[in-house]
Amino acid sequence: MSRSMTDDLAYLKDLAESGQNAPLLGGRFLAWWGGLVTIAYISHYLIATGATGLPNEAYAWLWIGFSVIGFGGFKVMQMTFPKSKPGASSLGNQISAVVWMAGGMVLFSFFSGVIIRSVLEGRASLGFLWSVPLVLGIYGICQLTSGLLAKSRALMLAGWGAIASSGVAAVFTGSNTVWLVGAIVAALTVFLPGVMLMRQEPSEVV
């Protein structure tokens, strides 16, 4: 084998390994959704405990606002995301994106069903009460998967923490405390790791 071919193979091997270990680039999306969910859960808790003095109709406005702002901001970030970021096409980033997309679709399907049930019954479905353990469990699976791929101890800890917290939330389901549990877990396992990933992102120019 010629020296030139050997050098080419070595270069391709290094390129593949660097792509495999490329940093995850979804930090801005984690920080966005993690921060928004934290604020929404705290707001729900304040309404539920009567601290705000708002009527029950405030729940609808809260979650409608959450959906509009959340998906609106998400789409803007998608459109403005720099495609030239090094590592954007790496296996880790591609799989992480698919895992989070699948998790998001599960939650969309769940809440669509809960909303339909609520409309049919003319009152809030019990599914809403059990949404927090489900949301935290989805967060945990996605964070753990991303952490294992990126070999990130912080993301793996966040994933295990969210998975464990799903059981804690189930214990408190039916009480107002569950919303505080959800807020704390979303802040620590989604928002904070998102900020950390943003700080670790490479510049657009290598």
DSSP assignments along 152-173, one per residue: -HHHHHHHHHHHHHHHHHHHHT
Structure-model confidence comparison of residues 103 and 83, the more confident one: 103
Mean pLDDT of 16-27: 66
Determine which helix (DSSP H) or strand (DSSP E) holds 178, and give its type and residue range: helix 177-186
Q: How far apart are CA 189 and CA 194, in angstroms?
A: 9
Q: What is the pLDDT of residue 19?
A: 46
- pLDDT cut 90: percent of the chain above it: 62
pTM for this model (two decimals): 0.85
pLDDT, tens digit, 9 for 90 and up, residues 183-204: 999 999 999 999 999 888 766 5
